[in-house]
Amino acid sequence: MPDGHYDLIVIGTGPGGASLAQRLAQSGKRILVLERGGYLPRSEKNWDSKTVFVDGAYQADETWFNRHGDTFSPALHY
């Protein structure tokens, strides 16, 4: 947007961010959606459910911390 003003900023297009952005799209608000990764081109492997969900080919290798400092794997996919 030319003036750099947005009414809402949605960070991430995972299940929560994408659902929120879709719900707000009809509101007339100026919405900016930010995503940290690049575009993943469509390929046979990334559309194969076994490769994605069983083999974990696109699962993020990350460790997050909860409010108590305990670690957990967020089970995110890229």
Can you tell me the mean pLDDT for 39-68? 88
Longest dimension (CA), the chain: 45
Beta strands in 1-78 (DSSP E): 8-11, 31-34, 64-65, 71-72
Indicate the residue type of 13: T
d(CA 29, CA 9): 10
Strand-pairing partners, residue 31, are 8
Per residue in 3-53, pLDDT (tens digit) is 789 999 999 888 889 999 999 999 999 999 998 877 778 899 888 999 988
User: Is 0.85 surpassed by the pTM of this model?
Assistant: no
What confidence tier does 1 reach under pLDDT thresholds 50, 70, 90?
A: very low
